[in-house]
A and B are shown apart, each in its own frame.
Chain A
Amino acid sequence: MPKSDAPAPVRKIAPTDERDRQELIRFKSAEARLEAIGALVDYGMLSFTSYSENDWLVRTPVARLLRKLGVPFEWLTENV
């Protein structure tokens, strides 16, 4: 059987999958913030800095976890 010249499929990796840096995320409501706090406490990952009520500075794994858990937020530095 002839060997195919087609390139091997490349697994698509999101830019945020492997990085670990400071990220800026924004919540649209107090309820979303409370949901995020509860989720992060459960996972022992509640660690962030804030300068305004709805904006958090977090490490990338924290933002990834919140997205995985379905917590609603806006990832402002996702594609930066």
Chain B
Amino acid sequence: MSPPTPKRRPVNLSALDEHVAKFKLRSGVALPQTKNKSVSFPRESFVPVVQAEVGSVLPLLVHRYRLLLPVAQISPQGVRKVVANFADLDAIRNTLIRHFGGVTLLHQAPAPAFGVGARDPSNVMDTFQTKP
């Protein structure tokens, strides 16, 4: 992979944090039979509410999503521009682990998807980043 271009915008996943602000207990716990009404659990006992309870005794509806992460943009002239570097891959991976509890990465080369850059869906022909 080519080195990233200096002006490349680094990945910023902080906008997702608000969706994982609520936590739940990782697994059910038996409350101690004491008169003390308050209980405390270590932070590691909690996971985001969006995380599926895989392994639960109850049947669960679990969705599997496939995310496509483009790592480079190649113009028709053969100029290759990196849009996601290894640190971005690692940051996205760590975020998915933190939010959902796990992730599988699969690098597909050559890329199964081809395009001509981001464009306005309401005006595709006039908004190509690179002219086809």
Question: Chain A residues in contact with chain B, CB under 8 A?
Answer: 30, 33-34, 37-38, 40-42, 44-53
Contacts and interface: CB of A to CB of B under 8 A. Distances in A.
Contact of B1 (A41, A45, A49, A50): A41
Interface of B: 1, 71, 86-87, 89-90, 93-94, 97, 101-107, 109
Contacts of B71: 41
Contacts, number: 45
Question: What secondary structure prevails in chain A residues at the interface with B?
Answer: mixed
Given A44-B109, A46-B106, A37 B97 contact: no
A30 B97 contact: no
Contact of A41 (B93, B101, B104, B107): B107
A51 B101 contact: yes
